Amino acid sequence: MNARHPLSPPHARPAVDLEAEADLARCGALKDFWYVACLSTELPANKPVARTVFGTGLVLFRGQDGVPTALRDRCLHRNARLSKGDVFHGRLGCPYHGWVYDASGAVVEIPALGPPQRGEKLDASACAHEGLKPAPCDLGRLARFPTREQDGLVYVYLGEDVTQARAEPFRVPYWGERGWTVYFMVTRFANGVTNLVENFMDVPHTSFVHRGWFRNPTRKRVPSTVKRHAGRVRMTYLQEEDALTGLGRLFNPRGLPLVHTDEFIVPNITRVDYQWGDSGFAINSQCTPIGPTDTLVYTAISYRLPVDLPGAWVGRALTPFVRWYTRQVIQQDVVIMETQRQGLTDGPGGGVYSGTEADLHHADVEAYRRWLREGARGPGPEDAERDVVFWV
């Protein structure tokens, strides 16, 4: 293969259109998937949560049945942010004039109209005499977005027809499985989704961004296989002796052979697996676009310790360290992603990438996301499987 990737000549158009990717009106089929809005633990029964997805302000709260509701975060009256209001009895009150909405988005109470407007039926003639509307709900409804809750996450769907969703919400790896510990980290990145998913499944950067924490430069040859199939890009590393520093040594004290795979799942998900026998860890990240260079990433860390460690107390003792360690590593990615964003937004030409054989899987990711962004017309990128080699 030539040193320059054939998909990225110097005169190429930008591989990533950050503005369009995060705009609900221009993102094409990228919106036709479920996106994580918050952790289940972030949405209590008595408090609303504000989120922005594809530039659209949402307010989430739990209805009387405890099911998450997502509405447009803008009161019909004077456009105040409903997420600054209160939740009571499964209903949401506006902080400005107290208009109350139920889980369907309907107005069910307007305090300024007096007691008759608080659930009692109005006499039509009395309404006409007073110049009132027959019932608050006649004033309209807020836009309501479908929600799903599973595996400790609350998902929201912003496409036009939820029955046409291109996939079910992603299942968190090893959630609820015996012997596995799963916890979440929520991280805000100053970059767009495509750039983030490429970073999360990129090995060469680990020797520089995470030097000493995760991997050290060894100048070893890494043969790999890239498989593009059915909306997924899977990278399988065939290096016979791959050694990780830091946390890797704790998970693999006997030095068992390492099985390492990285996978991208359309439109916004990555899964990184390191397995040693029956133990190892999986890092699953789901990216929710806020704006062109602003993204919330929900990362599930799933790990299983070697069965021959001396006692369950070891696992309990390691848990705080594992959480601290993974947070440090992700913060290093936060910094480098902001560094990339600064270059991307510095004048014209940002987003035109050069590439080598080591970037082949990134070109596949960009191909899938570009196809979705442009409306997913036609069959999409063809299936392909190729062998590549790079050094770390």
pLDDT of residue 137: 59
* pLDDT score, position 119: 46
The pLDDT score that the predictor gives to residue 16 is: 87
Q: What is the pLDDT of residue 121?
A: 46
Cα distance between residue 287 and residue 153, in whole Å: 13
Give the torsion sign (CA, 159, 65, 183, 272). negative
Helices vs. strands in the chain: H and E counts, helices first: 7, 19
**Domains assigned to the chain:** 38-148 (2.102.10.10), 171-346+356-391 (3.90.380.10)
Decide: 298 and 286 in contact? Cβ < 8 Å. Answer: yes
> What stretches of the chain adopt beta strand conformation (E)?
34-39, 49-53, 56-62, 68-72, 86-88, 91-93, 100-101, 107-109, 144-145, 147-150, 153-157, 181-189, 221-229, 232-237, 259-265, 269-276, 279-291, 294-304, 384-391
CB atoms within 10 A of CB 85: 23
Cα 73 from Cα 92, distance rounded (Å): 11
Whole-number Å distance between alpha carbons of 336 and 15 = 19
Q: Output the tens digit of pLDDT for each of the chain's 392 residues.
A: 333 344 444 445 667 899 999 999 999 999 999 999 999 999 999 999 999 999 999 999 999 999 999 999 999 999 999 999 999 999 999 999 999 999 999 999 999 988 755 444 444 444 444 555 545 557 789 999 999 999 999 999 999 999 999 999 999 999 999 989 899 999 999 999 999 999 999 999 988 998 887 666 677 888 999 999 999 999 999 866 555 555 555 666 666 677 889 999 999 999 999 888 778 889 999 999 999 999 999 999 998 877 655 444 555 567 788 889 889 999 999 999 999 999 998 877 677 888 898 999 999 999 999 999 999 999 999 999 999 998 88
Residue 275 has a pLDDT of 86
Helix (H) or strand (E) holding 197: helix 193-200
